Amino acid sequence: MGPLELDVLTSFDYYYAETLSGRKLKISTTEQEGLNESVESLKKRIQNDFSQDSEVGDDFQLLHNGKMLSDQERLVERLLNDNNVLQVRRKSYSCFVEHLLSQQKSQWKKWVVRVICVIVGSLFISAMTQIQFHLPHAKEVPVTMQTFAVFLIASLLGWKMGMISVVLYLLEGIAGAPFFSSRGHGAHFMIGATSGYLYGFLLAAGLVGWLAERGNDRVYVFHWRSTFISMILGNLIIYIVGVPVLSHYIGMKLAVSKGLLPFLVGDLLKIILCTALIPSIWKLTAFIFNKDFSFKAGVALFDIKSNKK
């Protein structure tokens, strides 16, 4: 996951720290030190004020222009002008749902929401599976929104709840619910020629959800830790598992020509849709948080900023 970036907009009273999702955090300067505060002091105050914030936590490191700042360094004014950036890097983050739940004190309410999210996730996958369309280059092969649903649910729910949602979806189909492709159902789907793709969905959900909890879900493209890369890797997992299983029944040549090539264009379109949608959900929460909508795609593309008074 990419670093959590802090755009520091200085004043004599406050630091304004912008998270990777675009939320601006207001941090007051100390009366004693002003703009000559030490990095260690600032980190402690950030920990005290935002330790429950999933985008900050208490295990971050501060960087400036890609260089890690030591605790002894001073935040002199030359480091805190409008053209410079402080970065906060963490090894892991919370998924979107856990981020929303981080301010909820009641543990049982958290678990109720998690269970509901898993159930809704499984139903969403089943609903998207029934949406089919044909692309001009492969009119004989229907494209479904199944992988789009798996990637979206895994990114928003994280790897644990994402994988559980996929398992629940598979169990619902095995139990007789018409949730598989073309309203199919039954245990034979789990041992047939296309069963590898279903198992691939489970592994892909785990990978995409795990990468989302490293911050990939908050970056669009142009960075190796981004939503686009997560979706590509997730799709590769599905192919790596699905195509060999299919080849066991019809041979590798036909498996590639029938079970891989016709789906590449459709899968790319779904990856692009996920890449546009998932980070935008984070940006929308930032917009609600501070009325300041900032788009980032690994590099700064453009900003839409409201006039605040």
Domain boundaries, the chain: 4-91, 97-301
β-bridge pairing 85-89 and 132-135: unpaired
Q: What is the pLDDT of residue 109?
A: 93
- Backbone φ and ψ of 13, nearest 5°: -110, -30
Q: What is the pLDDT of residue 209?
A: 97
Q: What is the pLDDT of residue 130?
A: 93
Grade residue 5 by pLDDT with cuts at 50, 70 and 90: very low
Q: What is the pLDDT of residue 291?
A: 67
Q: What CA–CA distances, in Å, run from 20 to 120, 239, 284?
A: 28, 31, 12
Looking at residues 171-184, what average pLDDT do you find? 92
Mean pLDDT of the chain: 83
More reliable by pLDDT, 245 or 12? 245
Q: What is the pLDDT of residue 55?
A: 82
Q: Is 3's pLDDT higher than 70? A: no
Grade residue 301 by pLDDT with cuts at 50, 70 and 90: very low
Structure tokens at 45: 């105050």
For 211-270, write each residue's pLDDT tens digit.
999 989 988 887 778 999 999 999 999 999 999 999 999 999 999 998 999 999 999 999
> What is the fold of 4-91?
Ubiquitin-like (UB roll) (3.10.20)
Looking at residues 23-27, what average pLDDT do you find? 76
**Look-up: residue for tokens 């004190």?**
105
CA 43 to chain CA centroid, nearest Å: 26
> Cα angle vertex 243, ends 238, 247, to 5°?
160
Give the rounded percent of residues in the chain with a pLDDT score beyond 90. Answer: 48
Q: Are 85 and 4 in contact (CB under 8 A)?
A: no
Grade residue 34 by pLDDT with cuts at 50, 70 and 90: low
Structure tokens at 82: 């409008």
Q: Are 243 and 260 in contact (CB under 8 A)?
A: yes
CATH architecture classification, 97-301: Orthogonal Bundle (1.10)
More reliable by pLDDT, 206 or 224? 206
More reliable by pLDDT, 73 or 188? 188
- Backbone φ and ψ of 134, nearest 5°: -115, 140
Least confident span in 90-94, 134-138, 194-198, 260-264: 134-138
Q: Is 197's pLDDT higher than 90? A: yes
Grade residue 33 by pLDDT with cuts at 50, 70 and 90: low
What one-letter code names the amino acid at 157?
L
Grade residue 279 by pLDDT with cuts at 50, 70 and 90: very high
Q: Are 54 and 103 in contact (CB under 8 A)?
A: no
Choose from 4-13, 34-43, 62-71, 143-152 the range with maximum mean pLDDT. 143-152
From first CA to last CA, the distance across the chain in angstroms is 34
For 98-148, write each residue's pLDDT tens digit.
999 987 888 999 999 999 999 999 999 999 999 988 777 766 677 899 999
Q: Are 204 and 235 in contact (CB under 8 A)?
A: yes
More reliable by pLDDT, 61 or 161? 161
Q: What is the pLDDT of residue 80?
A: 59
Q: What is the pLDDT of residue 7?
A: 46
CA distance 11 to 81: 9
pTM beyond 0.85, yes or no: no
